[in-house]
Structure 1
Amino acid sequence: TITDVSAIAEQATALLTTSVSVRAYDPVTDDAFTWVISPAVWGEWLTLDIDPVDQSHFDWTLDTNTAQAFLDERTSALGGNRFLDAEGAVTAVSTAIQSKQTNVSLRLYHHDQQHTVQAGETIASIGRDYGIPYPWIQDANPTVGNALTVGQTLIIPSPDAMLPLPIVENKRIVVSISQQKTWVYENGVLKWEWLASTGINSSPTAPGVFQIQSHEPNAYAGNWNLWMPNFMGIYRPVPTSDFMNGFHGFPTRDGANLLWTNNLGTKVTYGCVLLSNDNVAQLYNWAEAGVVVEIRPYSMSAIQLVSKNLILRKVVYELDDIVVNCSGDGDGNGRSRRPLLHPTR
């Protein structure tokens, strides 16, 4: 029998003093969402166990099912087919409570999607709409041939398949296929703006959200007999192959001929993103593995791009003792930016 609960009450009161701020970042849309969870909320997730030997002391355990249900509900409300790594998220929150940390950072992921084929669509056009290289869609639908039929259902792989490495949040590279330009951002501020060249129509650069995955001082493309300086791989066009498309400088052939030096700003490569030798050398040293690369098929004005991550939209919901903040990009007119490469259908 416990006769004096004052010591336990004092410890419990000391435990229930810190709100936990959970920040969930979506590297695909470049949005961040924050849930501030008060002790009144997360305190309901705890079970206290009093030490039978020293009844002035207790241990606590976190009800993972309740915590996960809370996080799942908030994540589901975000839309966009998003989810959290449930086990990792609950562990991070539990660790924060135990160590009285106030901030938890998590990554949002995306489920695979289903697409119903419409008239006039091809595997390639569907891949462009979703920002997934079309051989990845073929690989996810092994029984589907090249001849699609209207009403057919396809599995669209998650865009997270293109982001296999830990995300570097404070750096981002944007490439516009329509404008043949590259913009480089650090901490939301435009650092460099350069002319670029992407793939020719018969060997196009895929739009999508990718990331820097490799660095090679001088990579060789056997199919084209090209040596490419300061190569940074960003995606595999074919999931079952090891070769990658990426950034590089002016290539050479046969160790002598320097190619495409007068072609920057026009489509000229076989799928990679070409930069000048000086610019690609800067990018090579600046962009570590994990930096996100957005390749956009459409045009965006320089003013809109400069405002990227500087114009914030902030929505605050008060649900019981929970505050939810959403911050992301704007289009310069106070409207939220449409997520990249979500199909219009």
Structure 2
Amino acid sequence: MPVGGPKSEGQTSIEHESQEEHLKEWFQAGVAAARAGRLQQARNHLLRVTAHDPQNEEAWLWLASVADDSQETLACLAQALTINPKNEHAKAAIRWARAKLVEESRALSFYPTDGVASPTMATTPSATQGTVSSPVLRQAASVSKGVSFRRAVGLLMATLLLGLVGLTLLTTIGAEAWRMVAAAPTPTMTPTATPTQGELIAGLRPELDQAWQAEDWQRALEVLEQIQAMDPGHEGLQQGLFTVHLLRGLELVEANQLEEAIFHFERALAIQPDDPTAKSQRQEAIGYLAGMKSYRQADWDRAVEELTAVYNTNPNYKEVSSWLYSAHLNRGLAMQGQGQLKAAQREYQRALEVKSDGEDAKIKLAEITFLLTPPSPTPRPIPNKRIEIDISEQHFYAYEGGALVYSFVCSTGEPGRDTAPGSYQVLDKIPMAYASTWNLKMPYWLGIYWAGTLENGIHALPILSSGQKLWDGYLGQRVSYGCIILSTEAAKTIYDWAEIGTPVIIRR
């Protein structure tokens, strides 16, 4: 075979099987390494799997469990959710991981002391002048943060992969480190006539402690700003301000106060410009607000662009999926109104990619797909069969070989929506047609002629969205919207009997 020539089917099949075997081996090796605690080795194997098979949901979930940091974990979980948007376990894991970030930020955050004790706190022999949060504790807290998150995520993902997610599995080492720092003794205050700066700051400690324990981040921020006014260089102050701004911003996001939340995220980033959580939260809030503004202005192009950016980053961010679905739907409607049917069809499809159960998009997609489907060529008449409908009698007749074989009561179009007399043929057969104009299902459909963009036909009693049969009990009267209506039993009989091309004659 020449180099670069086409491969035989046998060769392609063998290569595919070999690739599948390699993927299986890498995946199994990655899982085994993860369970044995060899995280880097596990990552290497699992990254090879996702590189060759990016749709491997289970590989992404395992990769999340051995990720280097929380942001990588969230990215892997988001990828798994993109592959399978209905994976409730992955959604729960993302919520859990985000909550864990907040918990650890809180646990490892600054608790201001300057070496001056509260009047109610006794001094231990080991207390010295200076800061209470010693370098050893700070280092331990820093190390424990990474270990805690990885251990917690690992346990979570192991449980997740068994389908048993528990959101309250662990208490973190980081949280314990916070309690150690907060409870550390401080030197005894020396009474003086005028309180020193250190004594004034120490006097704020109970109030900060109370605000922190109550998760009153606004009050905690006010206390920290008082400390900043007295001593801008106070050790740990910047870390404390960063943490409280971040937590206050997250709190405001939950309360739908996004403009104020953005302010706090920006204040946090002014202290730690590279913090991934503050950066992503700020970007998501800005994008969401911009998308909503464009949506209210009916600027569907911009709304789709801005909301898509948020959705791709975090599909569970507030109501972004619902608004993005609606923006795609409205853009499709606008395009359809301008006659851009192909573009409108793509928008309805994208709307359903965001919200697969969106009934409005389903209806519009079915409608536009029908409009885009080229009409069937005129079928060849079937000479030995014919259908006749008498409007004045409200009766349906079927003949085969010149002999009457079926006779049924029917209903034709109501006044103003009259069934058109004439000679036609059966153009198409659909077991269950759908009329988007009236939101009706039409069993045993036989299309016979076009009236503008709508096709009229013969079918059984139509079914409402409630399941009720429309016009039940009214057969024999002119009640339809233009079609010829038969009972369900009669319609099935004719559907099975008639062929494409069967002549249909409608008389007044």
Give the structure-1-normalised TM-score: 0.38
Q: Which has the larger radius of gyration?
A: 2
